[in-house]
Amino acid sequence: MTNIMAQIPDFAVSVARLALWLVILSLVFVPLERFFSRTPQQWARPQVGNDIAYYFLNNLLPTALMALPLALLAKLVAMLVPAPFQAWVHGLPAWAAIVAGLIVADLGSYWGHRFSHEWPLLWRFHALHHSAEHIDYLVNSRAHPIDVVWVRMWGLVPVYILGLGSTAGAGPWVTVLIAVAGTFASFFVHANVRWRLGPLEWLVATPAFHHWHHSKHDHIDHNYAATFPVLDAMFGTLYLPGKFPDEYGTADPMPTTIAGQMLAPFEKRTTAPVVRE
Ligand SMILES: [Zn+2]
Ligand SMILES: [Zn+2]
């Protein structure tokens, strides 16, 4: 009991910090979506309450679930990865470690994300993210925590194995920068913003790039990368035409309550994602 009580202040601080981040993100994205909207829609669109709840849930629960496996992985890596290699990685200039960390994390999460479309069991958990029929920055948070853990582990495990996430050298800055840049990028690619960024769209993920991944027809099996579209180009899954999709969502029925959405993957289903032959 005493232990539980001792944890409460930490938990309250985490919730307060998340609330502050949500305010900051909203101060950035609400005006952008108002002045540069791709589809006219109200901030208070269907499921917005759920998405805010998922914002808190998915920033608290997956981190707690992953803490022990990642700590064990860090210990294993320290024991198994040859010391000269670790020393070489830790000696890299900060910019090189950051670039390498971003690329390696995106490569891992590309495949974690792609498998969550191609393996029916994983699709059960990922379908919630694709159930959104109104896309805006908050849709970024709509996901099953198990789906979040799955894709995030695919991003983090290679970073840990290569030593890019350790506390030596440029390590802590790499993880902090990846987290902050990744947070803004992941909200931005969902934003209801009509901007097209020309050649930059081949370099970093943009709303048009990720909106096609949420398209209701045909292109849900494209644009898996979180940050670098070149990965989709390399693996034959890039789709980036000059327009935005007409409709978002999937044919899968999805319960509207959070409890229903959390339990949906465990219920009998007959539908599967559309995957290209
Ligand atoms: Zn997806
Ligand atoms: Zn998305």
Ligand 1 centroid, distance to 82 Cα (angstroms):
36
d(CA 104, CA 231): 11
Confidence of residue 272 (pLDDT cuts 50, 70, 90): low
Domain boundaries, the chain: 15-266
Ligand 1 centroid, distance to 194 Cα (angstroms):
21
Six token digits for residue 210: 């990720």
Ligand 1 centroid, distance to 85 Cα (angstroms):
35
Ligand 1 centroid, distance to 177 Cα (angstroms):
24
CB-based burial label for 20 (10 Å; 0-12, 13-18, 19+)? exposed
112: phi then psi, degrees, rounded to nearest 5:
-60, -45
Ligand 1 centroid, distance to 213 Cα (angstroms):
6
Nearest ligand, measured from the Cα of 141? 2
240-249 pLDDT, tens per residue? 999 999 999 9
pLDDT at 86: 86
pLDDT at 165: 67
Ligand 1 centroid, distance to 126 Cα (angstroms):
7
SS3 call for 193: strand
Six token digits for residue 215: 């398209």
Ligand 1 centroid, distance to 103 Cα (angstroms):
19
Q: Within 13 A of 9's CA, how many CA atoms are on the CB side? A: 3
Ligand 1 centroid, distance to 149 Cα (angstroms):
14
198-209 pLDDT, tens per residue? 999 999 999 999
88-147 pLDDT, tens per residue? 988 888 788 888 888 999 999 999 999 999 999 999 999 999 999 999 999 999 999 999
